[in-house]
């Protein structure tokens, strides 16, 4: 009985020890996972900053050079893809021919005639399907960075080259941009000064013209008033002339009447 309890106690201690080790391992795994997640987050932040810096550098890059470089990369990828597909199809055909020879040797009849099974590797549908499969395989390897132009150097040349090869070229570009910006700022100040000068001259001329227009309007009113007075004078003179003529005619008639009376 004591021996059984002792063994049971040993088993409990063993399980407790294993549990402790398991918990410690689990804590280490959780800690390692947390550390990796932190590193991943830091790397993602760094990658984001590098992508932003890359876009900034590309904005400084000569646009014509950048377009030519992108076209070069596309042409190179297309060339390598066609070469990859061609090699894959050729390898598949060679493997198919070797299988036919192997099966033919096994199928020799008693009369020594070799019976071969001719496989239809050149059917149009199979070729198109193979091209599609190998195309997908090529781009999958390309995304993983496992397609290289030079296997010895292991350099991925499907990426665009850098326009700025060193810091001196980049510094020279910044200096040129800064000089151009200073020149543009100076031109803007000069243009603003010219605009302000023209604006002041316009306001001055406009004020002078408004003053002249006001004076002319006053002179126009004075002339209208003078014209009205002159018209009134003319009317009065006409009325006075008519009255004098009537008195003269009356005097003449009276004189003629008196003369006629004396004669009679």
The predicted-structure confidence for 229-241, as pLDDT tens digits, reads as follows 888 887 777 776 6
Q: What's the CA dihedral at 153, 154, 157, 163 to 10 degrees?
A: -70
3-class SS of residue 100: helix
Report the pLDDT averaged over residues 95-110: 55
DSSP 112: S
The three-class DSSP label of residue 159 is coil
Residue 262: the pLDDT is 55
Instruction: Name the average pLDDT for the chain.
Output: 76
Q: How confident is the model at residue 212 (pLDDT cuts 50, 70, 90)?
A: very high
Highest mean pLDDT among 55-64, 118-127, 173-182, 196-205: 196-205
Q: Who's near 118: CB < 8 A, 6+ residues apart?
A: 100
Contacts of 191-195 spanning 24+ positions with Cβ under 8 A: none
Domain map of the chain by residue range? 10-60, 77-107+121-157
Q: Round to whole Å and give the CA distance between 146 and 154.
A: 9
Section 175-196 average pLDDT: 90
Mean pLDDT along residues 37-52: 89
Q: Identify the residue with better confidence: 119 or 194.
A: 194
Residue 164: which of 60, 31, 64, 20 has the closest Cα?
60
pLDDT per residue as tens digits for the range 121-167? 444 445 557 888 888 888 888 777 666 554 433 444 555 667 777 77
Angle, alpha carbons 59-60-65 (nearest 5°): 90
Q: What is the pLDDT of residues 85-98, one digit of tens each?
A: 888 888 888 877 66
- In percent, the amount of the chain with pLDDT more than 70 equals 70
Whole-number Cα distances in Å, 216 to 58, 91, 206, 210, 211: 66, 102, 15, 10, 9
Looking at residue 61, what is its pLDDT? 79
């Amino acid at each position: 009985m004591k021996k059984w309890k002792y063994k049971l106690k040993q088993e409990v201690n063993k399980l407790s020890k294993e549990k402790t080790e398991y918990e410690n391992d689990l804590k280490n795994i959780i800690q390692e996972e947390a550390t990796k997640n932190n590193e991943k987050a830091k790397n993602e932040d760094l990658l984001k900053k590098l992508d932003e810096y890359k876009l900034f550098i590309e904005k400084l890059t000569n646009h014509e050079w950048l377009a030519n470089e992108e076209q070069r990369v596309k042409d190179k990828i297309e060339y390598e893809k066609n070469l990859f597909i061609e090699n894959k199809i050729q390898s598949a055909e060679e493997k198919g021919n070797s299988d036919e020879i192997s099966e033919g040797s096994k199928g020799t009849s008693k009369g020594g005639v070799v019976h071969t099974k001719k496989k239809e590797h050149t059917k149009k549908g199979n070729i198109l399907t193979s091209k599609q499969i190998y195309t997908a395989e090529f781009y999958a390897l390309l995304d993983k960075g496992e397609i290289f132009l030079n296997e010895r150097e292991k350099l991925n040349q499907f990426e665009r080259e850098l326009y700025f090869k060193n810091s001196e070229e980049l510094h020279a570009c910044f200096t040129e941009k800064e000089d151009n910006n200073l020149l543009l700022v100076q031109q803007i100040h000069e243009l603003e000064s010219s605009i302000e000068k023209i604006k002041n001259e316009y306001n001055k001329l406009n004020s002078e013209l408004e003053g002249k227009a006001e004076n002319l309007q006053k002179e126009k009113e004075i002339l209208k008033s003078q014209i009205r007075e002159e018209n009134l004078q003319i009317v009065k003179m006409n009325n006075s002339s008519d009255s004098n003529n009537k008195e003269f005619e009356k005097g003449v008639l009276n004189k003629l009447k008196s003369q006629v009376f004396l004669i009679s």
